[in-house]
Structures are given as C-alpha cells and as structure tokens.
Amino acid sequence: MKAVILAGGLGTRLKPFTEVIPKPLLPIGEKAVLEIQIEQLKKYGFDEIYLATNYKSDYIENFFGDGTRYGVKLIISREEMRLGTAGPLSLLKTKLSEPFVVMNGDVLSNINFSNFYDFALRQETLLSISIKKIIMPYDFGNIFFKDDFVVGIEEKPDLITYALAGIYIMKPGIFNLIPENKYFGMDTLIKNMLSTQLPISKYELSEYWLDIGRMDDYEIAQKDFNENFYKVVK
C-alpha cells in the first residue's frame, strides 16, 4: 500500500530550529518526526512511501536514503516551486493508481491506519478526512439573551471544535480536482469539492494526535513521546 507525507513546509513558527533543519527532521524523543510517521505507516502495511519535499529537501534525502533501513521503499518527490498542501500530489498522478494515505509532515498520531483505510474504502467518496475533537476551556461565563433580556447563563463552558487532523485517504479520481504545477492548498480542495457538491467522508480520531505547528506544541510532543510512541518505535 502507498502513502504520501507532505514534508516541504518552511516551519516558520518553529524558528530558529527550522533555520538549521527542516521541520520533519526535528527530533521527538529518540526519533525525527518523519521517522515516527514512517514507522507508524510501516506497522500498518504501507510499504511504498512518497516524501513530498521542497524546503531543505537535500537534508531529508540524505537522512532517509531509499528507506531500506526502515523496511519500506521511500521515493522523494521534490517540488521545484512551492505547491502548497495539495498541489504536490499532482506530481504523483502517474504513481498512485489505488487509494492512498496523505499526511502532513508535522503531525504526530498513533492512529490505526488500517481502520481508517478500511473506512475510506467503504465510502463512495474521493476524499476521506480525519478529524479530532478539541475541547478548550472557556474562562468566562457565557450569557444567553433575547432582545434586551438575559434568558440564561452557562458558567465557564468548554468550547468544542473539530480540527482537520492532517491525515487523509484519497482515491485516484482526486487528481482530476488538483491543478498541475500550481500552488493549491488542501483547504481549497475541500472548499471546491463542497461548492460542487462532491461528498467528503469524515473519520473521527479517538487516538493520540498532535499538530506540531508551534514551539509550545513541540515542547508538548517531547513530553508525550514516551507514553504514546516509545513502544511503537523502540
């Protein structure tokens, strides 16, 4: 089975670390982020993995080689220009003829890829997205009112949102929706599909998930590594 890891981001919010090495090579515990992802995919039978690279691509190519030491086949798909989060897939149109996983190169999760993949195969959709329930405490009482009169109060309620988790299952027909050699974001792909009434499936993650987009997230990942990943990658 095949997967694509989007590993070409600049990692601007993780400077100064990412001025030296690309974000997917930042160490989490004993492993680089990208190593953890590759070993997770391998665990669930994904043995052909494409690394979509741009920023400091040479670092990633030199670090991973052909994937032999991980027991997988690694292929570098290098962008000559920045193509966003969906655009890089256009370079792989002839390589991916069966449903495939796509994941952001800065996501840590011990998602059961087999369950997600099987779910996606059952859907009559080109795109299945993973989502994660996020519960955030709200520091103020919330007032409900009608016209000029208070009708209710809720003291410091939790705010519940659902985050796009950055892990997707796509079917080859998706390539008809992605322009070639053009910057194109995953958000634009989703909006375009919704505007043309193309259905999108959602899969809610129950497992550990963290987006390493900011410095405080990176610090959290360091603390969480042993509990959530050590048994997987040691």
- Residues 6 or more apart from 29 whose CB is under 8 A from it? 222, 225, 226, 229, 230
What's residue 19's pLDDT?
57
* Residue 173 CB neighbours (<10 A): 11
What's residue 14's pLDDT?
53
Dihedral angle sign, alpha carbons of residues 177, 181, 185, 188: negative
Please give the C-alpha separations between residue 37 and each of 40, 104, 108, 183, in angstroms, as whole numbers: 5, 10, 7, 25
Residue tagged 């087999």 (tokens):
114
Q: 167-222, pLDDT tens digit by residue?
A: 999 999 999 999 998 999 999 999 999 999 999 999 999 998 988 766 677 767 67
Q: Please say whether the beta carbons of 152 and 192 come within 8 A.
A: no
Which H helix or E strand runs over 120? Answer: helix 113-122
Single out the residue of 205, 28, 40, 41 nearest to residue 116, CA to CA. Answer: 205
Q: Considering the chain, what percentage of its residues have pLDDT values greater than 70? A: 89
Which H helix or E strand runs over 204? Answer: strand 201-204
Q: Does domain 2-130+164-233 have CATH number 3.90.1570.10?
A: no
Q: 50-71, pLDDT tens digit by residue?
A: 999 887 777 888 888 898 999 9
62 compared with 223, residue with greater pLDDT: 62
What's residue 20's pLDDT?
60
pLDDT (average), residues 46-50: 96
pLDDT (average), residues 77-84: 88
